[in-house]
Structure 1
């Protein structure tokens, strides 16, 4: 018996290649873990938004600045206060709903990819493609290493999924 084939005990005529029986796609696992991390991150943002729903955001920012030993009169804190003043309760509620929705979507992608479901690969492919124009716009508007890094990660995910799906469609050479 070769090292590339394993006899299946229930039917001795049937052989299964070793990678199909024991291996999981490490690329899908890595992408799935990345998506699960995003799900946790956005869930935390949604929970934070709900936590501050009926609180004074400006007062909370001043308390945080004081606790972190920032000067509450500094230019940075003044700029943050100007932005925080633009967020009302309704907008905070919208932020929480949107981030919970995105978190659920990322959770679905992550679990589906970790279970190596084809539908999850197509879902991730579609969502990744749909966010690329926005990422390119944001990178052009305000370039940063962080935005460039996110774009590169998403392009790598896109390339890997396209390669994987194309490879699966090719007829197997036996």
Structure 2
């Protein structure tokens, strides 16, 4: 460490030290949390897309019947019956579309998550826009079939929306006053 002798009558000038350079920028914990949530969504949807590709050239009905006993589900019960009726609607082309859609959504969530963790303004606006754009669909699904999962998902997205609106408003005020 350097010691400076200050002569009487001289002004104290700010000095820069190594310690000043290592002072970390305080991170916004809300953005970090939202970014981690988005990265989790990216991993989840990537896994869904990869799983869809695994079933591309397989008989889905046969797979369900084979998995039912392993999951301790009655192979002749209502759940398996429901799945069998839905699986008949999915052909190879549709499975490929599902896979590509989930990969695309995974990539978008990855971009959002990384951008938010890096505290990029464009990521805040992107997340704000996407969150708003999915609200009508979430409300429709909730009105169609209300359950705790959908209520929870809606609440999480409303919290994200509220936080981002508050953060962007605070940043705008700070910019205007500077």
Task: Specify the alignment match of 2:90 in structure 1.
Answer: 87
Q: CA deviation at 1:22?
A: 3.2
What number of residue pairs does the alignment pair up? 161
Of Structure 1 and Structure 2, the greater strand share is in 1
RMSD: 2.0
For structure 2, the residue ranges without an aligned partner over 5 or more in a row are: 1-13
Q: CA deviation at 1:80?
A: 1.1
Instruction: Give distance in 2, aligned partners of 1:121 and 1:148.
Output: 24
Q: CA deviation at 1:9?
A: 1.2
Residue 147 (structure 2) aligned to one of 138, 144, 147: 144
Q: CA deviation at 1:58?
A: 0.5
Q: CA deviation at 1:69?
A: 2.7
Instruction: Give distance in 2, aligned partners of 1:70 and 1:146.
Output: 22
- Secondary structure of 2:58's counterpart equals coil
Task: Specify the alignment match of 1:36 in structure 2.
Answer: 39
Q: CA deviation at 1:79?
A: 1.4
- Secondary structure of 1:170's counterpart equals helix
Instruction: Give distance in 1, aligned partners of 2:15 and 2:41.
Output: 39
**TM-score, structure 1 length as denominator?**
0.87
The runs of 4+ residues in structure 1 deviating greater than 2 Å are 171-174
**TM-score, structure 2 length as denominator?**
0.85
Say yes or no: does 1:128 pair with 2:131.
Answer: yes
Instruction: Give distance in 2, aligned partners of 1:40 and 1:141.
Output: 28
- Secondary structure of 2:139's counterpart equals helix
Residue 110 (structure 2) aligned to one of 71, 82, 107: 107
Task: Specify the alignment match of 1:3 in structure 2.
Answer: none
Q: CA deviation at 1:102?
A: 0.1
